[in-house]
Structure 1
Amino acid sequence: MSEQGTYVEKSFERDTNYITTRITADGRDGFPVEAGRYRLVVARACPWANRAIIVRRLLGLEDALSMGICGPTHDRRSWTFDLDPGGVDPVLGIPRIQDAYFKRDPDYPRGITVPAFVEIATGAVVTNDFTQMTVDMETEWAQFHREGAPDLYPENLREEIEEVSKPIYTEVNNGVYRCGFAGTQESYDSAYERLFAHLDVLEERLSTRRYLVGEHITEADVRLFTTLVRFDPVYHGHFKCNRNKLIEMPALWGYARDLFQTPGFGDTVDFTHIKAHYYVVHRDVNPTGIVPRGPALEGWATPHGREALGGSPFGDGTPPGPPREVVPPEHNPVLAMLAG
């Protein structure tokens, strides 16, 4: 096995056995919502973690929930805090997120993943169930939401959000990995057809509506965005998802630009970390480890015209303020284009 690990399988199947302990307002699993008690550990490279970064920022949870950021590359053991001085997270005091998993279970047998909630006092992971984590941030953490925080999981739309999100996960979020890690032509061909069949469904849906569900941004949009923003930089080439580029799908490209230009979305994106992660870590897909220079990013700053479809990003809420944890400008030059 390489130092980075191996990823290609005959037919890729994601391990979905996560730690399902929840942090809730009533503390029914033994972990009540409490400001300063937990740390959200993420990597900007990871699309699943990017969801949690976006939701935390949109809801204004920065004061209640600190965030540790792992570097973009990792070995087969775990993500590391190589961005921090001395390679150690300044709050948890550990060099690897693996340490927090082993604090929870010294014989932890599954994948070491981000995002994860870690209890600061014990140093142990509480949960890495990424889908439930963002929903709980939107519902259970309501007492710590900023004034004007949008309702990302409206009670009257939850059934539709989950209905729309289910195939987004199976066919798109996970579908790109099914293409990229396919070990046979047959499994790749099947994954490719499934991916683009659902992207066509989404292209049609978003041609007549600004957001996936309702008249403002919801959890469903967060779930789709983190795959779309990585599509041309990584998935089109590295994962062979190459029927179309995102920029060749008009509704999806306009929708992705609309979200990118909305505070809380594009300002969480680190294109340098994204490309470094996939092209360096997946050595069985990209043996040389060469990271491509492209694609050009200027298009993300161009007008999208989606306002004509109605709706507004935050509904009755307001945009978040400037980001607390800033992406280095050279890692996302689009932000300077939008500001200028």
Structure 2
Amino acid sequence: MPYVEKDHFNRDMNYVPDRITRDGRDGWPVEPGRYRLVAAKACPWATRAIIVRQLLGLEDVISLGMPGPVHDEDSWTFELDEGGRDPVLGIEQLREAYVARFPDYPRGITVPAMVDVPSGQLVTNDFPWITHDFFFEWSDHHREDAPDLWPAAVREEMEDVMQHVFTEVNNGVYRCGFAGTQGAYEKAYRRLWDAMDWLEERLAGRRYLMGDTITEADVRLFTTLARFDAVYHGHFKCNRQKLTELPHLWGYARDLFQTPGFGDNTDFDQIKAHYYRVQSDVNPTGVVPAGPDPDVWLTPHGRG
């Protein structure tokens, strides 16, 4: 699992650092059809990569394998596929791709993962760089009308915004959910809601985080917001308010959800199954809640 449980939550950010680049400097050159993105819709970090792949029009260039939402301590598995095997890689567990390259791989098996199809080996699971490189390294293969997810004019500020979103919101909900003491939880709760209030204020005067167009920053925030009421509000005790009670963030989240690439890659059943069934230390009964009603995501957002 990508976290360490003590009194305070700390995310393990030690990933395989290889990158797929135009010049192939790490031994993995950009090559259409060669690589498979393995990414579960249950996982927010993996869903980022699925969304960016679609926004940029890379579906015919990088194939997609999708594990199911429930995994054990050993690996993500392909129970959604016929026979329980990924149809391209021919494996039952994502771990098989990891050990094909690193026979004694010592860390958790995480998604997203880029796998080299000819060898069946993991290339990288370094999730921030995967979407970065989809934009910069695979640009020759983007569709003609692909959005500029890293606009040069705001890139420096965007990096700061994304870092704040990562530490305080993407990780902030986990910091609340896996706090080991009351004091650690209350500190995490205050940090999260300080950031949520900052976002609510920022989005009062602009359609998206960086202005009038969707950027990578929006993708990174969206996957947390999409899980907020369904999981984080109750399961992780992030319960000062629901997302639906924050007018600017809620309108913004629906605006993105109703944009191709976002809502169609958001599976609330898989999301709830993953958090409520896998994280048995937080939810020992394994009971998965029936709500909330996903149809509220299709109501008018008023941000056009």
Query: TM-score range, shorter-chain basis?
Result: over 0.9
Q: CA deviation at 1:6?
A: 9.8
Aligned to 2:170: 173
Task: Work out which of the residue numbers 261, 267, 280 in structure 1 matches 2:258.
Answer: 261
Q: Which amino acid aligns with 2:140?
A: Q
Structure 2 matches for 1:239-250, cutoff 5 A?
239-250=236-247
Aligned to 1:128: 125
C-alpha separation between the residues in 2 aligned to 1:298 and 1:82?
Answer: 27
Task: Work out which of the residue numbers 213, 230, 235 in structure 2 matches 1:233.
Answer: 230
Aligned to 2:149: 152
Is 1:110 paired with 2:97? no
Structure 2 matches for 1:3-18, cutoff 5 A?
8-18=5-15
Q: CA deviation at 1:9?
A: 3.0
Is 1:51 paired with 2:48? yes
Aligned to 1:64: 61
C-alpha separation between the residues in 1 aligned to 2:4 and 2:121?
Answer: 27
C-alpha separation between the residues in 2 aligned to 1:156 and 1:205?
Answer: 18
Task: Work out which of the residue numbers 290, 296, 305 in structure 1 matches 2:302.
Answer: 305
> Is the contact between residue 37 and residue 112 of structure 2 (CA under 8 Å) also seen in structure 1?
yes
Task: Work out which of the residue numbers 89, 111, 118 in structure 2 matches 1:92.
Answer: 89
> Is the contact between residue 7 and residue 284 of structure 1 (CA under 8 Å) also seen in structure 2?
no
Is 1:287 paired with 2:284? yes
Tell me which moved more, 114-123 or 297-306: 297-306
Tell me which moved more, 61-70 or 155-164: 155-164
C-alpha separation between the residues in 2 aligned to 1:306 and 1:215?
Answer: 10
C-alpha separation between the residues in 1 aligned to 2:157 and 2:137?
Answer: 20
Structure 2 matches for 1:17-56, cutoff 5 A?
17-56=14-53
Q: Compute the TM-score of the two structures, normalised by the length of structure 2.
A: 0.98
> Is the contact between residue 103 and residue 123 of structure 1 (CA under 8 Å) also seen in structure 2?
yes
Aligned to 1:271: 268
C-alpha separation between the residues in 2 aligned to 1:93 and 1:36?
Answer: 16
Q: CA deviation at 1:157?
A: 2.3
> Is the contact between residue 74 and residue 109 of structure 2 (CA under 8 Å) also seen in structure 1?
yes
Matched residue of 1:43: which SS?
coil
C-alpha separation between the residues in 1 aligned to 2:248 and 2:205?
Answer: 9
Q: Compute the TM-score of the two structures, normalised by the length of structure 1.
A: 0.87
Task: Work out which of the residue numbers 204, 208, 213 in structure 2 matches 1:211.
Answer: 208
